[in-house]
């Protein structure tokens, strides 16, 4: 099988759950059992211990993007030039980072509460480049990151090569304090396995739309059954249009990644027995790379706006691109050393901010994780449950205030614009793939 997620393959499967059949009733319905939906389910069960909560997923739960991502729990994003200390975007960057810090804390809290074994390492990550020109204004960047609570350090030359076990990267900012790495399939499985009894899960059930009934309740229709509930939380992320919500101003991107076999003792010694690490690119289309605790290398170096999903043969070509990125970093590795290759969908927006809203009476939705939904999805799930429950907090206000995904032109203009932008970004990232 070509499209096989390595993280999922290396994780013990959770027990299966039946599809939705017949007419079911619930107090709360959650659509989408990824990080966001599962986090919302936990929060609703904590807020309303007597309530009947139903969660539905179109495939096996916890096997979408939430299991297929690169496993960075992001508190601090790399600041854009206009967000550097002293510039007019700094206040917004500061507000976003407070949300990011709360989100990474939410991940830690969930892991501790449910004792999730997901190879969590609170050891920070690197914004690293092979072309030093792609990491500009280093001093201002360090000051900015440190001003918002990060612990940031600049590395280059032999010190960097020794730390990462590769001479590919020429400069990096290590960014700690809230930034962590985890095995994503194990994290989201942990959220799934810890669901309390008040939550009923239906798997392999695709919801095709929401219907408002005459008594004000909402009915979600699946192929062999339906659920009627007073309150519905839509946690579909890239698939939000499938619930009939077309106004989120978000769009889906398809990403692909590969994971190698574990390095042998000899290969590991040759790279200096480096400790596990994670590297984020400073360019949107640059590679995300990890050396995992079990000595595998993961690379994600494609991200595409597509109107049709990648086919098997498309994915084969993407795997060659992964192999090229691997060889640049670790010349001893080739395509034959790749054990797993897979795709996943994320939800993006023009501004980089999410859609987080009460859509209409009883319907709440979130989308637009923009590649940092491990931590933010965990937080948004809780906050969406709180919003729908009528709760209020400074953090919820801040998230709602920042949730402005930006305007998208109508199709086909959007399709054309997105393709041109992607090509431009690919050229800008060509030294970093």
Ligand X SMILES: Cc1cc2nc3c(=O)[nH]c(=O)nc-3n(C[C@H](O)[C@H](O)[C@H](O)COP(=O)(O)OP(=O)(O)OC[C@H]3O[C@@H](n4cnc5c(N)ncnc54)[C@H](O)[C@@H]3O)c2cc1C
Contacts with ligand X by CB under 6 A lie at 31-37, 56-59, 64-66, 68-72, 74, 206-207, 235-239, 242, 255, 257, 300, 344-346, 369, 371-375, 377
Q: Quote the least distance from Cβ 400 to ligand X, whole Å.
A: 17
Residue with tokens 């997923």: 57
Distance separating alpha carbons of residues 87 and 111, to the nearest angstrom? 36
Dihedral (CA of 380, 383, 388, 393) sign: negative
CB of 269 to ligand X, least distance (A): 28
For the bound state, the minimum distance from the C-beta of residue 270 to ligand X, rounded and expressed in Å, comes to: 27
CB 60 to ligand X: min, Å: 8
CA–CA dist 235, 356 (Å, integer)? 10
Angle 184-193/90-114 helices, nearest 10 degrees?
60
- Asked if 311 contacts 319 with a C-beta cutoff of 8 angstroms, the reply is no
* Cβ atoms 184, 67 nearer than 8 A: yes
Shortest spacing between CB 74 and ligand X, in angstroms = 5
Burial code of 378-400, b = ≥16 C-beta within 10 A, e = fewer?
bbbbbbbbbbbeeeeeebbebbe
Query: Measured from the CB atom, is 165 or 368 closer to ligand X?
Result: 368
The nearer residue to ligand X, 161 or 429, going by C-beta atoms, is 429
209-to-41, 144, 216, 355 alpha-carbon distances in Å: 20, 45, 16, 19
User: What residues have CB less than 8 Å from 307, skipping those under 6 apart?
Assistant: 415
Distance (Å, whole) CA 354 – CA 277: 28
| DSSP-assigned states of every residue in 62-107 | T-SHHHHS--EE-SSPPPPGGGSTTSTTHHHHHHHHHHHHHHHHHH
Residue among 161 and 299 whose Cβ is closer to ligand X? 299
Min dist CB 156 to ligand X, Å, is: 24
Q: How far is the CB of 245 from ligand X (least distance, A)?
A: 11
What is the C-alpha separation between 394 and 401, in angstroms, rounded? 10
- In whole angstroms, the minimum distance from the beta carbon of 302 to ligand X comes to 9
Q: Name the residue among 429, 425, 370 with its Cα closest to residue 72.
A: 370
- Give the Cα separation of 154 and 263 in Å (integer): 28
When the beta carbons of 65 and 135 are compared against ligand X, the nearer one is: 65
Q: Which is nearer to ligand X, 161 or 418 (CB)?
A: 418
Least distance in Å: CB of 149 to ligand X?
Answer: 18
Give the residue with the Cβ less far from ligand X, 29 or 161. Answer: 29
| Residue whose C-beta lies closest to ligand X | 373
Q: Which two tokens stand for residue 215?
A: 């008594």
Nearer to ligand X, 183 or 372 (CB): 372
Q: What is the DSSP letter of 234?
A: E
């Amino acid at each position: 099988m070509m499209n096989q997620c390595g993280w999922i393959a290396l994780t013990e499967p959770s027990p299966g759950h039946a599809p939705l059949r017949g007419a079911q009733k619930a107090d709360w319905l959650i659509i989408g059992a990824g990080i966001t939906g599962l986090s919302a389910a936990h929060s609703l069960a904590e807020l309303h211990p007597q309530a009947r909560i139903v969660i539905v997923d179109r495939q096996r739960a916890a096997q979408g993007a939430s299991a297929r991502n690169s496993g960075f729990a992001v508190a601090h994003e790399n600041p854009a030039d206009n967000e550097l200390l002293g510039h007019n975007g700094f206040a917004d960057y500061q507000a976003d980072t407070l949300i990011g810090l709360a989100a990474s804390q939410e991940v830690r809290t969930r892991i501790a509460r449910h004792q999730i074994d997901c190879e969590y390492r609170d050891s920070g990550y690197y914004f690293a480049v092979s072309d030093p020109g792609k990491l500009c204004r280093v001093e201002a960047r360090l000051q900015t990151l440190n001003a918002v609570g990060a612990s940031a350090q600049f590395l280059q030359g032999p010190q960097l090569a020794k730390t990462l076990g590769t001479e590919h990267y020429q400069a990096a900012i290590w960014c700690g304090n809230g930034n962590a790495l985890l095995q994503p399939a194990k994290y989201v499985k942990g959220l799934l396995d810890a669901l309390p009894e008040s939550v009923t899960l239906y798997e392999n059930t695709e919801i095709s739309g929401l219907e408002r009934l005459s008594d004000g309740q909402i009915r979600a229709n699946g192929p062999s059954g339906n659920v009627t509930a007073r309150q519905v939380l839509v946690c579909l992320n890239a698939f939000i249009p499938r619930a009939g919500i077309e106004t989120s101003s978000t769009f889906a991107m398809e990403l692909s990644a590969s994971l190698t076999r574990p390095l042998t003792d000899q290969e590991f010694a040759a790279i200096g027995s480096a400790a596990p690490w994670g590297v984020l690119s400073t360019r949107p289309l640059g590679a995300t790379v990890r050396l995992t605790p079990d000595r595998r290398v993961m690379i994600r170096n494609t991200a595409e706006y597509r109107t049709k999903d990648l086919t098997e043969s498309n994915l084969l070509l993407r795997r060659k691109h992964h192999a090229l990125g691997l060889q640049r970093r670790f010349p001893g590795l080739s395509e034959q050393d790749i054990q797993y290759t897979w795709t996943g969908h994320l939800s993006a927006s023009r501004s980089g901010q999410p859609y987080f809203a009460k859509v209409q009476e009883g319907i709440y939705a979130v989308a637009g994780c923009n590649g940092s939904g491990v931590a933010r999805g965990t937080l948004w799930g809780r906050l969406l449950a709180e919003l729908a429950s009528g709760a209020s907090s400074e953090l919820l206000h801040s998230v709602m205030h920042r949730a402005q995904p930006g305007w998208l032109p109508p199709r086909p203009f959007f399709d054309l614009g997105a393709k041109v932008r992607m090509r431009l970004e690919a050229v800008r990232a060509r030294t970093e793939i």
